[in-house]
A and B are shown apart, each in its own frame.
Chain A
């Protein structure tokens, strides 16, 4: 079964600072990778996804993530955050040829101070 690790559960930063959230997974086979965001009081939304191809993936709202297969990592980045990026961020993984069971990381709570 897949498992996902996210570090630094609580992140506090100022507007215009850069953000990087780490995500590492453990699974021996081929995976699909996702970052979801949950704004306060709102539902889970897909930020970006990686299935295959270019390991640098661009998502919505200026976010990007890089898949590094050798490191089993899929880190999320944004060069300059805004107050509206305050949210919970979840990394998730599923097996490419499995039953689509998503394994979520524990999440990163990001607070951006104006």
Chain B
């Protein structure tokens, strides 16, 4: 199984809502990533988890809160978002973060719209 799955596929939320995005992989990977992608732009790294610990936070606003409950799951909790946060949120995983030759496998993304 070389697949990263993400739910939901689409999410519409108001600025006062609280929602969560979920990501799952069963490849035994120990690194997982959240990216944000605006239309026609490259993905922008948000967070990296390595062995279930947060290793990189790219100065993301606190209204985005990541969580890694176990090595297969990655969540992104959303609260009090702004319309400009509307984007495609991508999850990725790789064998590890350090060392060599680790490609990242991307999920299909969650298309988020904030009203």
Question: Which residue numbers of A lie inside 8 Å of B, CB to CB?
Answer: 32, 34, 36, 42-46, 49, 51, 88, 90, 96-102, 104-107, 109
Contacts and interface: CB of A to CB of B under 8 A. Distances in A.
Contact of A96 (B40, B97, B100): B100
A29 to B, nearest CB: 12
A5 B100 CA distance: 23
A105 B44 CA distance: 11
Contacts of A44: 43, 90, 106
A101 B100 contact: no
Contact of B40 (A42, A98, A109): A109
Given A97-B100, A105-B42, 20 more contacts: A32-B102, A32-B103, A34-B103, A42-B108, A43-B107, A44-B43, A44-B90, A90-B42, A96-B101, A97-B98, A99-B56, A99-B98, A100-B94, A100-B96, A101-B45, A102-B104, A104-B42, A104-B43, A106-B42, A109-B40
A81 to B, nearest CB: 20
Given A99-B55, A104-B42, A106-B41, A51 B97 contact: no
Contacts of A42: 108
B43 A99 contact: no
B31 interface: yes
Interface of B: 31, 40-43, 45, 48, 50, 55-56, 90, 94, 96-109
Given A51-B101, A90-B42, A96-B100, A101 B48 contact: yes
A51 B95 CA distance: 15
A107 B41 contact: yes
Given A43-B106, A43-B109, A107-B40, A102 B99 contact: no
Given A99-B55, A100-B31, A107 B42 contact: yes
A107 B87 CA distance: 17
A49 B56 contact: no
A104 B104 CA distance: 12
B42 A46 contact: no
A45 B42 CA distance: 13
Nearest to A42: B108
